Structure 1
Amino acid sequence: MAATEHVVPPSPFSDLVRSETRQQHGTVQSSPFMADLLGGRLGLDAFTRYTGQLWFVYRALEEAVPALRDDPVAGPFLRDELLRLPALERDLAHLLGGAEHLGALAPLPATSAYAARIAGVAREWPGGYVAHHYTRYLGDLSGGQVIRSLAEKTWGLAHKSDGVRFYVFDAIDNPAAFKRTYRALLDALPVDDLEKQRIAAECRRAYALNSTLFDALGREFDCPVAPPQAG
């Protein structure tokens, strides 16, 4: 009698994405700019500059929402609870000293490249848009809360008020449950395995674009460059 073959079920796609981007996630978190920002070694001007760059990234993400609402791949992820542009604009009006200063915001070249990639995939490739949506919004619900807390303590910004509203998701009562639901949507994406690999690769690209932005901010604020790792 032949032994029963043990079939290992495939890993959920959300687990694949997390495993394939783990190293890049760590690299972004430990970038000189973010390390100095989180370590309190940079001033409110650096936080303001960073927040201003985020405005261009989220404008690209959220301007695409109306066209993708009914898309079978991207549509299920487009939850109004996640939208950040109004909160970003309130934060920037506070940080810059008035809404009239919003028109003076200027993207760094790295920011322009990042936003252009998001806009491009939003027009041409819904799966690629999902990759950027995932890396941004789930990051905001997770590590973004560390940045909010630091900003409140270091620069005296009011708790969950103007200046840090970007990180406050008032319409999400249970972030952990929301993230589980989001990852379940990733696992249920109506695409084949090849497309999932393409989406995972775009997640890595999203982290790389974010890393390039942090590098540019680090140069602007004279953050020390981390020594190359051995090996």
Structure 2
Amino acid sequence: MTRSDESLSARLKSVTWDEHDRTNSAPFIVALMDGRLDRDAYAALLGQSYLFYRELERAGDAWRSDPVVGPFVSDALVRGPALEADLAWLRGDGWRDELVPLPATQRYTDRIRAVCFDSPSAFVAHHYTRYLGDLSGGQIVRSKLRNIYGLTSDGVRFYLFDQVPKPKVFKDGYRGLLDELRWDEPERADLVAEVNLAFRLNRAVFDDLGDALEVDLAGS
């Protein structure tokens, strides 16, 4: 239950926190951050990420001129070229030939394709889930991965937002856009539900990666 005076950005953070926390605590991610997985596992994560970011950014291009949703779309957030650069550096120029979506990745991509081109609330939900996370926890991930795998900029460009010099200022502005939305309660509820679904879809990708790579997620 939410207070009537609670801002939409505050509501999103509080009501989706459990799914957010479970996703960040997925065994595959914990193993990666602990340095128990090799560089190939990291590259596999980037490859699967590329597939759903590519679809989300296609949806963003479709919404650019929309007066309500368009302001959320920013070239400073686009991750496709950075992912392409990281994958080329980690796996060579033929990385696309080796890229096959895992079942969970296919479901995630299909969901984005099904709802994000037609529903403003669904697009904002997936946009919010991906990019605010990238600007927040993603920076901690980048620092850890650089140390674990001996990387500098090459290989971790996905986490480098060189067009966002002050992430906190940018995130505050993004939350301001959320709070300015004049959506009715059903659309706000749809937004919250889709954010939670996006977290679950993302967590399923982590689980599939662990299974596909046969990694020791227990750390034993």
- TM-score in terms of structure 2 length: 0.94
User: Paired residue for 1:69?
Assistant: 64
Equivalent residue for 1:88, pick from 83, 87, 90: 83
2:31 touches 2:217 (CA, 8 Å); kept in 1?
no
Q: Is the 8 A contact 2:104 2:201 kept in 1?
A: yes
Give 5+ residue unaligned stretches, structure 2.
Answer: none
Alignment of 1:48-197 (within 5 A): 48-96=43-91, 98-158=92-152, 161-197=153-189
| Secondary structure of residue in 2 paired with 1:157 | coil
Shift of 1:164: 0.4
Which letter maps to 1:213?
Answer: V
Cα 1:225–1:38, aligned 2, differ >3 Å: closer, same or farther? closer
Give the conservation status (yes or no) of the 8 Å contact 2:68–2:181: yes
Could you tell me whether the CA contact under 8 Å between 2:82 and 2:158 is conserved in 1? yes
Please list the CA deviations of residues 171-195 of structure 1 after superposition, one character each: whole Å capped at 9, or x if unmatched: 1110001000001111111311221
- For 1:31, give the aligned amino acid: A
Give me the whole-angstrom Cα distance separating, in 1, the residues matched to 2:4 and 2:211. 46
Name which one, 1 or 2, has greater alpha-carbon Rg. Answer: 1
Q: 2:216 and 2:22 mapped to 1: Cα distance?
A: 15
* 102-111 vs 124-133, which moves further: 102-111
Per-residue deviation, 1:103: 3.0
Measured in 1, the distance between the counterparts of 2:25 and 2:60 equals 31
The SS at the match of 1:124 is: coil
How do 1:196-207 residues align onto structure 2 when only pairs under 5 Å count?
196-207=188-199
Query: Residues 97-116 of structure 1: CA distance to partner in whole angstroms, max 9, x if unpaired?
Result: x2232232111010011011
SS in 2 for 1:107: coil
The gaps in structure 1 that reach 5 residues or longer are: 1-7, 227-231
Q: Following the alignment from structure 1 to structure 2, what is the Cα–Cα distance between the partners of residues 186 and 63?
A: 21
TM-score (norm 1): 0.89
Given candidates 25, 31, 41, the residue that maps to 2:36 is 41
Residue 148 (structure 1) shift: 1.0
